[in-house]
Structures are given as C-alpha cells and as structure tokens.
Amino acid sequence: MPLEQMRLEKASFLEEDESYRSIWAPFRASRNESQRQTRQYVLLAANITVLILSLLVNIWTWARIEPKCIRQSDMHDAHHAIQYEQRVFTGALVYDPETKRAIRKPDADQEYFGPPSEELDAAWHELLHGEFPIMRPEEAAQFEPELTRIPRTKEFHFEPDMFHTLHCLNAVRLEASKSLYNISGGHSHGIVPGISLPEGWDLAHMEHCMDRIRQSIMCHGDLTPSPLYYWPGFKIALGRTGEHTCRKWQPMRDWMDKRGSAGPMLDPL
C-alpha cells in the first residue's frame, strides 16, 4: 500500500485521554477567567492612577500660574505685558513719639513727592516719557471720524489711561508745591513753554486732573484693607495697608517704549 494511502495514527502516549480532559477542564476555565479578571483590574487600577496623577499635575500647574485679569478695554497688543505681583505700598503716615510729629515714611526706592527738585522732576520724566505713541489705523478706526491725525506728525496718537492719570497726578503735584513749599512760578501743569492756551486753562485742567484721579481710583476699586493704627499721645488713628495685588510696572513701561519706537512722538501737554 502506498505510503500516502496509509492511515497514520497517533501513538497512544501522544493522545489526550478524554477522561484527563474532562477532569482538568473546569480548572483550566477557572484559571483563564481568573487571569482575565486580574488583567482587567490591573488595567483599571493603572488608568485610575494615571488619571489621578494627571489631575494632580494640572492642579499644581494651575496653582503656579499668576492671576491675570485682562480687562475688556485693555489694548490687545498689551496683553503680554500684563503681569501681577504682591507689593507693599510705601510712604505710610506714622507718628513719631520722640518728635511728637506725624511723618511720611521715606521708605520708597524712588521718591516722587517732596520739596521741588531736579531729582523729582527727573523721576517723573522717567515715569512719563513717551506717553503719546502713535496709534495704528486699525486701532484708530473705532474712534473715527471724530478722531483725526495730528497735523505735525500726520499720525493718530493715543495715551494709555494709566499714563494720563499719572500725568494728572504730576500736574497736581506741581500746582500743590506752590502752596505747600511757598514757591512761585516754576512749572505750569507740564505745559510746553511757548504754547498759547485759552483763558481759564489752569483752573479747568486742575479740576479735570483731580476728577480724573478720583474716577481712576473708583474704577479700579482696590479693596485691600487699611487697618487703623493708634499711638498713645496722638489724637487720630492712621491707616496703613499690607500687600496689594498690583500689575507690574516694568513690563508695561517696556511695552510703551516698544510702541514709542514705532513712530514719531508728541511733546507732553
């Protein structure tokens, strides 16, 4: 008989006995089910662990991000310059028991008030230089047609509100110095010499500036508490604040300098 036609049979020792299979089948099925469930539990535990770790990392990241309040009226290209920090205000009023006088603490890195001096004027110039940069046509479009280009530069110009308010405060400083330090003449509200202004300008400008400062204070609404401190022998209590949440000055000053480099500047008024 040809080999390919011969029936090949397994050797008995290679065949799986039916009784053997029937005895161990339940144990095999049980073991496979147990392994499957174990794998499922391990995968579930791994997924839950990854989820918890992701949440913790996100919470830690969010906690480290500085609060950033972008106001709707902030100029769009200034958003990157808006950063925050905690600052303690300087120049608090305190009572000196030895001299029995109330004094303003001279604890600022740079003073902006006091007897008129070239140093104070230079400090204010450093704050306010370049306060009228050019305004791009697309930025000016919302204010047209009332807004027109300045004839001298043939450009639109603007002043950030913060600089306008500082300008007004400096004007109040200059005017108040005349009576506080008994001086005459000197500056006239920062006006460039040689410019002719209508009658009543000084009064109108001063009222405008003081009201501008009032509105700015009320607009920003700082609710940091100022506890009232009392000293024996002094008849009134004086408020002094702790830390304030403030916008950082230098990034905004850098943004103004960058805007100022884009075109001609106007002299301060």
pLDDT in tens, 41-72: 778 788 888 888 888 887 776 555 555 688 88
Q: State the pLDDT at residue 67.
A: 55
Q: State the pLDDT at residue 100.
A: 86
What does the alpha-carbon distance between residue 102 and residue 166 come to, in Å, rounded to a whole number? 26
The stretch 156-168 carries a mean pLDDT of: 95
What does the alpha-carbon distance between residue 91 and residue 238 come to, in Å, rounded to a whole number? 12
The stretch 234-252 carries a mean pLDDT of: 91
- Token pair 């603490």 in the structure block, residue: 105
Please tell me which residue, 207 or 199, carries the higher pLDDT value: 207
Q: Taking a C-beta distance cutoff of 8 angstroms, is the pair 240, 227 a contact? A: yes
Amino acid 227 reads P
Letter string b/e over residues 95-124, b meaning 16 or more CB atoms within 10 A of that residue's CB = beeeeeeeeeeeeeeeeeeeebeeebeebb
Q: State the pLDDT at residue 235.
A: 86
Confidence of residue 150 (pLDDT cuts 50, 70, 90): very high
Q: Taking a C-beta distance cutoff of 8 angstroms, is the pair 197, 188 a contact? A: no
* Residue 237 φ then ψ, to 5°: -95, 150
Amino acid 52 reads I
Q: Among 175, 174, 192, which residue's Cα sits nearest to residue 120?
A: 174
Q: How far apart, in Å, are the Cα atoms of 220 and each of 68, 128, 160, 209?
A: 15, 20, 15, 17
Please tell me which residue, 15 or 38, carries the higher pLDDT value: 38
Max mean pLDDT among 30-34, 66-70, 235-239 falls in 235-239
The stretch 111-125 carries a mean pLDDT of: 94
Q: State the pLDDT at residue 265.
A: 78
User: Count of alpha carbons within 13 Å of 239, Cβ hemisphere only?
Assistant: 6
What does the alpha-carbon distance between residue 150 and residue 244 come to, in Å, rounded to a whole number? 39
Q: Taking a C-beta distance cutoff of 8 angstroms, is the pair 165, 213 a contact? A: yes
Max mean pLDDT among 23-32, 49-58, 112-121, 190-199 falls in 112-121
What does the alpha-carbon distance between residue 15 and residue 9 come to, in Å, rounded to a whole number? 10
The stretch 25-47 carries a mean pLDDT of: 70
Helix (H) or strand (E) holding 203: helix 201-220
Confidence of residue 22 (pLDDT cuts 50, 70, 90): low
pLDDT in tens, 81-93: 999 999 999 999 9
Please determine, for residue 19, whether its predicted confidence score (pLDDT) is greater than 70: no
